[in-house]
Every structure is written in structure tokens, then in C-alpha cells.
Amino acid sequence: MFLLDRMLRRTIHAGPLTIVDHTGGRRVYGAAHPARRSVTIRLSDAATAWRIGLNPALGAGEAWTDGRLTVEDGDLLDLLDLVGYNMRWDRDNRTRTDLWKGQAFAAWLDQHNYARRARRNVAHHYDLSDRLYDLFLDADRQYSCAYFTDPANSLAQAQDDKKAHIAAKLALAPGMRVLDIGCGWGGLAIYLNRVAGVDVTGVTLSEEQLRSARRRAADAGVSDKVRFELVDYRSITGSFDRVVSVGMFEHVGTPYYRPFFDKLAELLTPDGVALLHTIGRADGPGATDSWTARYIFPGGYVPALSQMVPAIERSYLWITDVEVLRLHYMHTLEHWYARVVAARRDIEALYDARFYRMWCFYLASAIIAFRHDGHVNFQIQLTRRRDALPITRDYMAEAEARYRRPGDS
């Protein structure tokens, strides 16, 4: 308990956080705070405290998943919110810096996503049962940050608004050839064809997503206009008027940023436009925590803008627009987390109780990353020519309003 006790005494000021150890002994960290609720957790054995003290993210995540860490006052989200608030990035936090340094090298090694490894990493997460994703995503299976014009909006409304927001930034015209890199289950590709009359090619490394996307295009009667392929972005050939990539760049890895943007420049027509939507870091370069890298997104990394821009510049692409979505993914994840909790019996029947706890930890910790840590979403618009788009942003607002009324398009 020594390592964990020392870390918590240095870190937890707003609490209180009470830990009941395997002997029944109680330790309290932090004073009552008007914006935080008290949390009590119980550790089943001495080894659990030691593992958390050595590697907090991995130790706590595994302890929760295995049932060796339980929450007795409050719930998992309350626990992570309390810890996240005390370790928030926009304050001087030595513990946070020390943890980042401790996992930076391992995280860098994990980002070497050569083609075969990239496909294996994608399968680890995205080739899970379609039934699981149906239980917590919206009906269109949008597995990325939604766009909340009002925080009170439903998840379905916010995801529809996200698609309109992205489509507007692409400045689409009927008949254009569009490439969707990391197309997921095909919802965005089918949407772009429906509202703008474009031909779309979607690519993915997930066999489960490919089957679902092709089936959805066939059911919609648009298989001749919306096609899906199982291919790595590095192997794509051809020329496209527009390229869009949503929620895929987090799987590229920093060693491949320059090749990714070189490929983007190669695929775009001279007047082409690309829109990249990715989770990002407002707090500069960091490291994927060891629990997430091992259990959820092997090879994944959330980029800082300062890491992306040099690669974009060297690829001779124009950055024509950047938008930072600060709280939208927090709201999205809160919807997903609530749906997972509500579907506990179904998820445990589909997998088991351990998987359910793991999935809760994944979503709850992601909420905290956007609530207290430096995580945001970037939407970056790119072109090959400085005059490829209008010189004001008015066209975006006009198109977005039109796409929200697809019957009028």
C-alpha cells in the first residue's frame, strides 16, 4: 500500500476518496469539495494496491475488470471523475507528468502500425460482435464524436448533425468521387450519397464492418454508387475529388503521419478537398495509457496538433480550416456509457461479466479524458490548392442547413 498511499496523498486534494484495504483498514485522501462527491473503494488484496501504485492506469483498469477493485460509495464514473478532476491537465500536476514520462517509450513502440499489424489491431476492437455495437451506438452505428448543437439533443440527432457538419465542409457536388478512409459500418458513405449525389468508395480493415457496410448499401439500393473495400489506406490507388476520414487517424501512429498525408495529397485531384476528423490533444504530445493500449486500442494514439501540422506542411497540403470540438465527445460518450450500463444483462450474456466491466472502464475513462484531461476533437480541412474553396466559411453554414433537410437537397 506504500506506493499507492504516497501517490494519492500527493495527488488527491478534492475528495474525499476512501480506500478500504484487504485487512479492513481505511485511508482517506482529500477534503470534502462542493463539486465532487465522496467515493469509497475496496481492494481485495495487498497485491492490487501494489499494482496500482506501480502503474495506476493498468493496475486500476485490470483490478476493476477482474473485480479486485469495487466501488462501495458512488460508482465507477464517480471514482474516475474524482481522480480525473485532481489530475486535470490545466494545472501544475507532477503526478500526471511523471505517469506520462513513465509510459512514453512503450507507447511510442506500440505506434509502429505496419500494414499487417494495423489490420490485427483493427480486428481486436472492431471485429467484435455487431450486437455489442447495436446495444450502445445510434441506429446508424456512428462510432465517433457526435456534434451537439444543443447538449440536450438526443444521440441520434447529434450524430445526424455530425454527418451534416462534415458533409458541408467537403463542399460536395453531384457526381464527385469521394473516398472514405476508415468507413466503419458505412453510415457516412451512404449518407453522403443520399444528400449530395456523390459516388463513394469506403475502405476499412475490419471484415465485420465490411460485411455490414456492403449489406447496408445493398439494402439501400445504392451498391452501384457506394462501394466498400477491405484495404489499407497505403494501398489505395486512384484519384478522388473529396477524401474524408472520421475516427481513423488515431490508429495511424506517429511514425506514419508523413506517409499518411503524402498519400492524401496523392489521392486528391488538383481541386480536391479532404476533411480529417480525429480525437486530439490540447495539451501537446503525450502517450496512450498502458491499459487502453493493451485491452482496447492496441497501436492507438491520440495526436497533438503540433505533431500533425509538420507532416501536413511537408506534404504540401493547405490547411484551409481547423475546428476544435471541446465537449462534444464527452456528451457522446456519456450517452454510450449510459446505454452500456442499461444493457448490462445483454452484454454479459453476449460475452461475460468481466467484459462488461472492461467496457464500462473504457467508456468511463474516455469521458474523463474529455471532461478533465486535454482530449478534444479536431476537424481539419485540407486542399492541394489555396483557391480550391471559397474564401469565407459562409458556404459551410448554407450547406449544413440544407443537409439537415435532406428532402430539400
Domain for residue 269, yes or no?
yes
Q: In terms of domains, do 70 and 133 share one?
A: no
Q: Which three cell numbers stand for residue 126?
A: 472492431
Domain that includes residue 238, residue range: 110-408
Classify residue 385 as exposed, middle or buried by CB count within 10 Å of its CB (0-12, 13-18, 19+): middle
Mean pLDDT in consecutive groups of 10 residues from the start of the chain, 409 residues: 90 94 95 91 96 94 97 96 90 58 54 58 67 96 97 98 98 98 98 98 95 97 98 96 97 94 98 98 92 89 97 98 98 98 97 96 97 96 98 96 73
pLDDT confidence of residue 121: 59
| Structural domains counted in the chain | 2
Sheet architecture: strand order including 199-204? 226-230, 199-204, 177-181, 240-246, 268-281, 375-383, 318-325
Domain for residue 102, yes or no?
no
Domain for residue 105, yes or no?
no
- What CATH code is carried by the domain that includes residue 26? 3.30.1050
Q: In terms of domains, do 257 and 139 share one?
A: yes
Domain for residue 184, yes or no?
yes
Residue pointed to by grid coordinates 474564401: 391
pLDDT confidence of residue 297: 86
- Nearest Cα to 338, choosing from 63, 71, 40, 138? 138
pLDDT confidence of residue 315: 97
Q: In terms of domains, do 54 and 119 share one?
A: no
Q: Which three cell numbers stand for residue 371?
A: 471532461
Q: In terms of domains, do 36 and 114 share one?
A: no
Domain boundary among 53, 86, 119: 86
Q: What gap in Å lies between CA 190 and CA 261, rounded to an integer?
A: 25
pLDDT confidence of residue 1: 79
Supply the pTM of this predicted model. 0.92
Q: In terms of domains, do 58 and 140 share one?
A: no
- Nearest Cα to 307, choosing from 247, 255, 272? 255
Residues 385 and 391 sit within 8 Å (Cβ to Cβ): no
pLDDT confidence of residue 2: 81
Domain for residue 41, yes or no?
yes
Domain for residue 56, yes or no?
yes
Q: What gap in Å lies between CA 169 and CA 165, rounded to an integer?
A: 7
Q: In terms of domains, do 246 and 316 share one?
A: yes
Residue pointed to by grid coordinates 486535470: 88
* DSSP H helices in 220-327: 257-267, 290-295, 305-314
Q: In terms of domains, do 287 and 373 share one?
A: yes
Q: In terms of domains, do 236 and 300 share one?
A: yes
Percent helix, strand, coil in the chain, to 5, is 50, 20, 30
- Ranges of beta strands (E only) in 145-217 are 177-181, 199-204
Residue 204, SS3 per DSSP = strand
Ramachandran angles phi, psi of 91, nearest 5°? -150, 160
Q: What gap in Å lies between CA 149 and CA 161, rounded to an integer?
A: 8
Ramachandran angles phi, psi of 245, nearest 5°? -145, 120
- Nearest Cα to 232, choosing from 114, 319, 321? 114
Amino acid in position 389: L
- Nearest Cα to 204, choosing from 194, 192, 195, 212? 212
pLDDT confidence of residue 231: 96
- CB atoms inside a 10 Å sphere around CB 405: 10
Domain for residue 96, yes or no?
no
- C-alpha dihedral sign at 266, 194, 377, 126: negative
Q: In terms of domains, do 145 and 38 share one?
A: no
Domain for residue 98, yes or no?
no
- What CATH code is carried by the domain that includes residue 191? 3.40.50.150
Q: In terms of domains, do 170 and 310 share one?
A: yes
Q: In terms of domains, do 64 and 204 share one?
A: no
Q: What gap in Å lies between CA 175 and CA 200, rounded to an integer?
A: 10
Q: What gap in Å lies between CA 318 and CA 34, rounded to an integer?
A: 47
Q: In terms of domains, do 58 and 124 share one?
A: no
* DSSP H helices in 111-154: 115-126, 130-136
